[in-house]
Structure 1
Amino acid sequence: MLLSVENVTKVFGANRAVDRVSFGVERPAFIGIIGRSGAGKSTFLRMINRLTDATDGAIHFRGRNVLGLKGAEKRSWQSDCAMIFQQFNLVPRMDVVSNVLHGTLNRRSAFATFFNLYPTADIHRAIDILDRLGIAEQAPKRAEALSGGQQQRVAIARALMQDPQIILADEPIASLDPMNAQVVMDALRRIHEEDGRMVIANLHTLDTARRYCDRVIGMREGRIVFDGTPDQLTTGVARDIYGADETFSETATSTAIHHLDSPAEKSRAGVKVH
């Protein structure tokens, strides 16, 4: 088993934010986690990355319980398990390429970090990653000068700079317009397919989960209430996940991305993507 999540629980006072979550992943996959606000999705991702400690349970990756790691081993895991946030978490006044190079901080000395010293090879690699994401020309600009979609691609580039085995994305398109949302999701799907990296993304839209994910997990009140393929994510199942009645409409969760010629769509249809 590549990833094994066993009865993972997080308690805040009287609130069980994540309640005995368990599932396994045998190979790198693109997994979407959906559910209403407060379902426990973000807390769960933060426990995988060790930004938040679990109250109980275990998370094994390649046989190692990452919840038990401390010190240097914990920092090493956080390099292997990159995190992408809804609000990008870039340094606004810093240039784009330096923001990407921050993905190497966990393996650099305090001296090099303080004086902002980077090996030439790392700088070239950062620019290559930006080029792969279609924004190499933005490298010398301040991050704050970029659009939201461009900033999120910089955040993805920073994650790739870590050379992670898993990419966790916490609502990566929640603050983006539909066109930029598609560009970002296309990039994450392409990274999964071309690099063989596992991607686990918290998503707030059903159409996005169906279009890009191999597997969808639905959470409600901290528990998993659905775990299946995108095709099994029917409107009835969605109502149960969101705790809604028959008046529930998927349009309320739609990104309104209607283009069906994205790289992810072509790949899922068996068309070779260049």
Structure 2
Amino acid sequence: MLLSVENVTRIFGRNVAVDNASFRVAKPAMIGVIGRSGAGKSTLLRMINRLTDATEGAIRFEGCDVLKLTGAQKRAWQSDCAMIFQQFNLVPRLDVVSNVLHGTLNRQSAAATFFNLYPRADIYRAIDILERLGIAEQAAKRAEALSGGQQQRVAIARALMQDPRIILADEPIASLDPMNAQVVMQALRRIHEEDGRMVIANLHTLDTARRYCDRVIGMRDGRIVFDGTPGQLTTGVARDIYGADASFSEAATSTAIETLDTPHQVEEPA
């Protein structure tokens, strides 16, 4: 088994953010995690990456319980398990290539990091990754000069510099317009297909999960209430995931470009 999340719980004070969550992944896949705000999606990903500790349970990657790792072994796992965030987490005043090269910090010396010194091979590799993502021409620009969609692709490039086994994306398109959202999701899908990497993405739209993911996990109030294929994600199942009544409309969670011209568009419930 490649990844096994076993009865994982995270409690913050009196709040149970993730409640006895379990799922298994036998081989690299592109998995979407959906649910309304506060369902526990981000906490689940942060526990897998070890940014947040679990209260109970185990998370095993190829049999190793990553929740028990400490020190250098924990840092090595976080290199193998790259994280992409909604707000990009770039250094705005640094150029794009330097931001991408930050993906190698776990293997850089403190002095090299301080003086922004990187091996030439790493610089060439960073540019190759930017080329693959269609933004190599932005390499010398400051990150703050780029559009949101371009910045998110820089964040993806930084993650790829780690050469990770898993990419975790926490609401990677939540702050993007529909066209840039599609570009970013297409990039993540290509990375999964071409590199054979596992991608787990928290998503706030049903159409995105159906279009790009092989498997969808639905969370509600910290619990996994759905785990199946995109085809099994019916409107009725979606209502249950989002805790909605019969008035629930999938248009409320759409990122399709054509919805931009739809009057009285309802805000998404995520």
Under a length normalisation based on structure 1, what TM-score does the superposition of the two structures give?
0.94
Q: Once superposed, which parts of structure 1, at least 4 consecutive aligned residues long, lie more than 4 Å away?
A: none
Identity of aligned residues (%): 86
CA root-mean-square deviation = 0.9
Superposed, 1:30-179 pairs within 5 Å as: 30-179=30-179
Amino acid at match of 1:243: G
Separation of aligned partners in 2, 1:162 and 1:245: 43
How much has 1:256 moved relative to structure 2?
1.7
Q: Distance in 2 between matches of 1:180 and 1:111?
A: 37
Question: Which residue identity is paired with 1:5?
Answer: V
C-alpha deviation, 1:111, in angstroms: 1.2
Q: 1:262 — aligned with what?
A: none
Look up the SS of the partner of 1:8 in the other structure.
Answer: strand
CA–CA distance in structure 2, aligned partners of residues 75 and 35 of structure 1: 29
Give a deviation string over 1:146-194, Cα, whole Å, max 9, x none: 0000000000000000000000000000000000000000000000000
CA–CA distance in structure 1, aligned partners of residues 47 and 107 of structure 2? 22
1:184-225 CA distance string (max 9 Å, x none): 000000000000000000000000000000000000000000
CA deviations on 1:206-249 (whole Å, 9 max, x unpaired) are 00000000000000000000000000000000000000000000
2:10 alignment partner in structure 1: 10
Q: Is the partner of 1:200 in helix, strand or coil?
A: strand
The residue type equivalent to 1:147 in the other structure is S
Shift of 1:253: 0.5
Distance in 2 (CA, whole Å) between partners of 1:49 and 1:109 is 23
Query: Deviations 1:10-57 (Å, cap 9, x if unpaired)?
Result: 000111100000010000000000000000000010000000011010
Total equivalences in the alignment = 259
- How far the C-alpha of 1:257 sits from its partner, in A, is 3.8
Q: 2:101 is aligned with what amino acid? A: L
| Structure-2 separation of matches of 1:70 and 1:218 | 30
Report the residue type matching 2:95 in the other structure.
D
Q: Secondary structure at the match of 2:149?
A: helix
Q: Partners in 2 of 1:257 and 1:228 — Cα distance?
A: 26
1:244 aligned partner, one-letter code: A
Q: 2:100 & 2:138 partners in 1: Cα distance?
A: 12
TM-superposed deviation, 1:8: 0.5
- The normalised TM-score by structure 2 is 0.95
CA distance in structure 2 between the partners assigned to 1:166 and 1:187 by the alignment:
15
Query: Structure 1, residues 119-155: CA drift from partner, whole Å, max 9, x if none?
Result: 0000000000000000000000000000000000000
| Structure 2 residue aligned with 1:200 | 200
Structure 1 CA distance for aligned equivalents of residues 141 and 127 of structure 2: 13
What letter corresponds to residue 197 of structure 1 in structure 2? Answer: R
Contact 1:182 1:257 in 2 (8 A): no
User: Could you give the per-residue CA deviations for residues 87-130 of structure 1, whole angstroms, max 9, x where no partner exists?
Assistant: 00000000000000000001111111111110000000000000
Identify the residue that residue 243 of structure 1 maps to in structure 2.
243
Could you tell me which amino acid in structure 2 is paired with residue 50 of structure 1?
A: R
Letter in 1 for 2:175: S
Residue 248 of structure 1 aligns to a residue whose secondary structure is coil
Please give the alpha-carbon distance, in whole angstroms, between the structure 1 residues aligned to 2:62 and 2:108. Answer: 25
Alignment-mate amino acid for residue 42 of structure 1: S
CA distance in 2, matches of 1:125, 1:253: 37
Amino acid across the alignment from 1:140: A
In the alignment, which residue of structure 2 is the partner of 1:254? 254
Which whole-Å CA distance do the structure 1 matches of 2:111 and 2:87 have between them?
Answer: 29
